[in-house]
């Protein structure tokens, strides 16, 4: 392991005198120095881990992704007093929104080659005289990223007030109701 540190320190020493992109304005290559410093840090950490007997960590499992659709819900307060004749009065107020998981278990290849909008089903957005729900964001997120509802469930558990099983199942059904 000492060879890793020796090689890293040589690399660091070689960088100080080189300057390829600065035309004499600096005495060394800043990017090369930063890279050499990171290599030195890695070598020191690996040596310390071997001294205490820690084995190299296994590679992390591949990350899967899901498509999350965020919506905004607005309500027309003017429609409450409307008698149904003529044009409906307009007095819209934002009333919240939801996150919907529309696809899960997608690979990084899917994320890079496909558009998130192709996973969005019909029916998430709707418009009428009384209320509207429209999409404000569609995104690929890692599967370990929690939606608002999932974070709320975790917060209640952390606070020592777990939700009833029926409530949790209802929330998860609602979050995933547009999954194909």
pLDDT in tens, 134-167: 999 999 999 888 888 888 888 888 888 888 888 8
% pLDDT > 70, the chain: 78
Residue 95: other Cβ atoms inside 10 A: 13
Phi, psi of 10 (to 5 degrees): -65, -45
If one compares 80 and 19, the residue with the highest pLDDT of the two is 80
- Does the pLDDT at position 107 exceed 70? yes
Strand, coil or helix: 40? helix
Phi, psi of 174 (to 5 degrees): -65, -45
Mean pLDDT for the chain overall: 79
Residue 138: CA atoms inside 13 Å, Cβ hemisphere, count?
15
Judge whether 104 and 177 are in contact, CB under 8 Å.
no
Task: Read off the pTM.
Answer: 0.59
Query: Percent helix, strand, coil in the chain (nearest 5)?
Result: 40, 25, 35
Residue 66: CA atoms inside 13 Å, Cβ hemisphere, count?
20
Which of 31-40, 69-78, 165-174 is predicted with the least confidence, judged by mean pLDDT? 31-40
Among all chains, which residue has been given the structure tokens 């660091």?
12
Which of 26-35, 60-69, 164-173 is predicted with the least confidence, judged by mean pLDDT? 26-35
Strand, coil or helix: 152? helix
Instruction: Report the greatest alpha carbon distance in the chain.
Output: 86
Provide the β-strand partners of residue 73. 96, 133
Taking the C-alpha atoms of residue 101 and residue 171, their distance in angstroms, rounded to an integer, is 12
Element (H, E) at 4: helix 2-16
């Amino acid at each position: 392991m000492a060879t890793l540190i020796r090689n890293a320190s040589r690399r660091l020493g070689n960088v100080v005198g080189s300057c390829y992109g600065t035309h004499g304005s600096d005495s060394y290559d800043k990017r090369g120095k930063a890279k050499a410093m990171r290599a030195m840090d890695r070598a020191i950490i690996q040596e310390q881990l071997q001294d205490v007997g820690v084995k190299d960590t296994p590679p992390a499992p591949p990350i899967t992704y899901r498509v999350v659709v965020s919506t905004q819900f607005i309500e027309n307060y003017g429609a409450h007093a409307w008698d149904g004749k003529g044009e409906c009065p307009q007095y819209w107020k934002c009333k919240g929104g939801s996150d919907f998981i529309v696809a899960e278990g997608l690979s990084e290849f899917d994320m890079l080659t496909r558009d998130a909008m192709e996973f969005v089903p019909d029916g998430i957005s709707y418009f009428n005289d009384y209320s509207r729900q429209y999409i404000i964001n569609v995104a690929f997120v890692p599967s370990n990223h929690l939606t608002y509802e999932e974070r709320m469930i975790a917060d209640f558990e952390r606070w020592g007030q777990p939700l009833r099983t029926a409530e949790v199942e209802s929330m998860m059904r609602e979050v995933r109701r547009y999954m194909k």
